[in-house]
């Protein structure tokens, strides 16, 4: 997410457009009421061959997906925000009623690791059950350091700003990051919405409202940001907590903050810019999540904000950079950058562009978003295939994090 500081072309065939295996599309069509005559051609979704398992074997994610209702599948597409200090019963009920599969701890809490774990354990039990097995909740927060650290108090280190982290050796940062990750894990958090991979040029500095103003960048050159965002991610991986590279394709060259400003435009960055190097490197290292910004990049796609741009997500991120993990949005709940769209339009536009997980810090927007996704699925086969692919990617990430049980 951008700073939340409390202190200062669908005409192509779906298979060609999305790159989704035909078998996934067929299953999505059958599950949503397409002609039954197609059913005999359907094989297990995303089937793979593994040594000793026979000609066809399915992943744990495949088996969970096949047992889900459509409402449960749609719920996996969302990450809803709740207060880190004291989640409201209304928000938790909304997330439960709409089968939301991931939760973000928002605001600020100084209660410490033990108290935070009690909060998390209190809502983990509302995760969906499929075929008698619970599909665990992905629990995330913004734990970057400096002015962007949601969780503090006993058991949590006071994390310095990324600009300070960038002055350390990469080995020191990796070690320290592993410690911060272990603290999050003890508090029940399994995904950090960090590190910031944006490069803020020194000439712009604190005039860059979303990143530079809060010293959220590791440095002012692609080389420093690449090495230190990589070290941060490596430390978290060592402690078995997932990370999120953000905010693709970069918020370091803008002036306005998309959380508080409409029509934020980057008129400099191109698809081949060296400022994308931190993302390129992180993707090669196996980054599980990439967050898409809500700015417009006029030299990449002047017609859409990045979160709604197939050019940014499908062409640049997926095809050119080869990212295979989960594409998560920046906040689509209350950010000013998306306020001209209804909540339903935001959700549908993001998924249609190739995004996978919709982040909304405002849990009350989930019902309208989920209903819009369901309505579009009834009339658009390509969109149904997008949803099927997204749910699989999310379940794959949950499986890797030990949140699925298929034994």
At 257, list the tokens: 């903050």
Q: Spell out the residues 6+ positions from residue 313 whose beta carbon is closer than 8 angstroms to its own.
A: 292, 306, 327, 353, 354, 355
The pLDDT of residue 394 = 98
Domain ranges in the chain are: 19-58, 72-400
Q: Which residue has the higher pLDDT, 132 or 223?
A: 223
Which pLDDT band holds residue 53 (cuts at 50, 70, 90)? Answer: very low
Which pLDDT band holds residue 39 (cuts at 50, 70, 90)? Answer: very low
How many contiguous H segments (helices) and E segments (strands) does the chain have? 14, 15
Q: Which residue has the higher pLDDT, 42 or 115?
A: 115
- In words, the CATH class of domain 72-400 is alpha beta
| Portion of the chain with pLDDT greater than 90, in percent | 84
The pLDDT of residue 45 = 37
Give the Cα separation of 125 and 120 in Å (integer): 9
Which pLDDT band holds residue 6 (cuts at 50, 70, 90)? Answer: very low
Cβ atoms of 76 and 99 closer than 8 Å: yes
171 CB-contact burial (10 Å; exposed 0-12 / middle 13-18 / buried 19+): exposed
Q: For 235-288, what is each residue's pLDDT tens digit?
A: 999 999 999 999 999 999 999 999 999 999 999 999 999 999 999 999 999 999
13 pLDDT higher than 90: no
Q: Kindly state the DSSP code that residue 293 receives in the 8-state scheme.
A: P
DSSP secondary structure string, 205-266? GGGSTTTGGGT-SS-SSHHHHHHHHHHHHHHHHHTT-B-EEEEET-STT-SS-TTT-SS-EE
The b-or-e profile of 22-57 (16+ CB within 10 A means b, else e) is eebbbbbbebbebeeeeeeebeebbeeeeeeeeeee
Which whole number is the average pLDDT over 119-124? 96
Cβ atoms of 102 and 288 closer than 8 Å: no
132 CB-contact burial (10 Å; exposed 0-12 / middle 13-18 / buried 19+): exposed
Which pLDDT band holds residue 186 (cuts at 50, 70, 90)? Answer: very high
Other Cβ atoms closer than 10 A to 228? 27
Distance of CA 89 to the CA centre of its chain: 24
The pLDDT of residue 252 = 98
342 pLDDT higher than 90: yes
List phi, psi (to 5°) of 336.
Answer: -65, -30
- Degrees (nearest 5) of the Cα angle 359, 360, 363? 135
23 pLDDT higher than 90: no
pTM of the model: 0.87
Q: How much is the mean pLDDT over the chain? A: 89
Which pLDDT band holds residue 406 (cuts at 50, 70, 90)? Answer: confident
113 pLDDT higher than 60: yes
Q: Which residue has the higher pLDDT, 10 or 151?
A: 151
Q: For 287-304, what is each residue's pLDDT tens digit?
A: 999 999 999 999 999 999
The pLDDT of residue 2 = 56
The pLDDT of residue 265 = 98
The pLDDT of residue 10 = 37
Other Cβ atoms closer than 10 A to 263? 12
Of the candidates 365, 346, 228, the residue with the CA atom closest to the CA atom of residue 292: 346
Which whole number is the average pLDDT over 19-48? 37
Name, of 14-23, 57-66, 227-236, the range with top average pLDDT.
227-236
Distances (CA, A) of 113 to 102, 157, 158, 240, 386: 20, 10, 13, 17, 37
Cβ atoms of 14 and 381 closer than 8 Å: yes
The pLDDT of residue 225 = 98
Q: Spell out the residues 6+ positions from residue 54 whose beta carbon is closer than 8 angstroms to its own.
A: none
Which whole number is the average pLDDT over 159-176? 98
The pLDDT of residue 15 = 38
55 pLDDT higher than 80: no
Give the Cα separation of 22 and 24 in Å (integer): 5
């Amino acid at each position: 997410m951008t700073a939340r500081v409390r202190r200062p072309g669908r005409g192509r065939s779906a298979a060609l457009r999305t790159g989704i295996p035909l078998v996934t599309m067929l299953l999505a069509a059958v599950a949503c009421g397409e002609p039954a005559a197609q059913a005999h051609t359907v094989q297990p979704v995303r089937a793979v061959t593994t040594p000793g398992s026979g000609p066809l074997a399915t992943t744990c994610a495949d088996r969970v997906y096949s047992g889900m209702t459509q409402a449960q599948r749609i719920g996996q597409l969302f990450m809803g925000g709740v207060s880190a200090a004291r989640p409201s019963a209304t928000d938790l009920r909304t997330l439960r009623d709409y089968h939301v599969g991931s939760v973000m701890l928002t605001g600020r809490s100084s209660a410490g690791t033990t108290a935070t774990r009690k909060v998390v354990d209190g809502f983990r039990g509302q995760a969906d059950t499929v075929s008698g097995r619970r599909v665990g909740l992905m629990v995330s927060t913004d734990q970057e350091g400096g002015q962007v650290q949601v969780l503090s108090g006993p058991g949590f280190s006071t994390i310095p700003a990324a600009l300070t982290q960038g002055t350390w050796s990469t080995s020191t940062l990796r070690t320290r990051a592993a410690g911060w990750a272990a603290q999050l894990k003890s508090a029940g958090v399994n995904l950090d919405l960090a590190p910031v991979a944006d490069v803020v040029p020194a000439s712009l500095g604190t005039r860059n409202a979303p990143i530079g103003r809060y010293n959220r960048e590791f440095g002012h050159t692609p080389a420093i940001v690449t090495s230190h965002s990589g070290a941060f991610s490596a430390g978290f991986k060592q402690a078995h907590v997932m990370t999120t590279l953000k905010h693709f394709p970069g918020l370091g060259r803008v002036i306005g903050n998309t959380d508080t400003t409409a029509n934020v435009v980057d008129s400099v960055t191109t698809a081949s810019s060296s400022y994308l190097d931190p993302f390129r490197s992180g993707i090669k290292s196996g980054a599980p999540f990439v967050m898409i910004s809500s700015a417009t990049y006029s030299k990449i796609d002047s017609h859409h904000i990045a979160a709604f741009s197939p050019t940014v997500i499908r062409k640049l991120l997926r095809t050119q950079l080869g990212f295979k993990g989960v594409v998560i949005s920046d906040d689509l709940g209350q950010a000013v950058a998306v306020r001209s769209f209804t909540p339903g339009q935001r959700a549908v536009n993001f998924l249609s562009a190739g995004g996978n997980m919709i982040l909304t810090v405002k849990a009350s927007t989930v019902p309208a978003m989920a209903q819009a996704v369901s309505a579009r699925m009834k009339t658009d086969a390509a969109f149904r295939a997008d949803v099927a692919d997204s749910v699989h990617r999310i379940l794959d990430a949950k499986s890797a994090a030990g949140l699925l049980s298929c034994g």
